Amino acid sequence: MKKITIYTTKFCPYCVGAKSLLNKKRQQFDEIDIGRNPDQRSVMIDRAEGGHTVPQIFIGDRHVGGCDDLFALERSGALDALLV
């Protein structure tokens, strides 16, 4: 199982949606709340190559993108292959 990291903020509905999908797929993930850890915002932006909105999702070393990108991978059937 690949390491999953998701950068979030507390009241972000897209973050909730992305985490819900990952939980539904029984995936463990590291959540980094950039609201509580503002020093991690610049780390997120660097890792996401300029992505500054939340969530920013990483599966292994791959930057998946945001919530819409995660759900697009799920709809296309490509998400499961990324998770193994």
Per-residue confidence (pLDDT) for residue 62, from 0 to 100? 97
- The answer, yes or no, to whether residue 1 has pLDDT greater than 90, is no
Per-residue confidence (pLDDT) for residue 39, from 0 to 100? 97
User: Pick from 11, 25, 8, 38: which is nearest to 73 by CA?
Assistant: 25
pTM over 0.85: yes
Domain of 17, CATH number, reads 3.40.30.10
pLDDT digits (tens, 9 = 90+) for 30-76: 999 999 999 999 999 999 999 999 999 999 999 999 999 999 999 99
**Residue 20: which domain range?**
4-83
CA distances from 47 to 15, 20, 40 (A): 17, 23, 10
Q: Specify the number of domains making up the chain.
A: 1
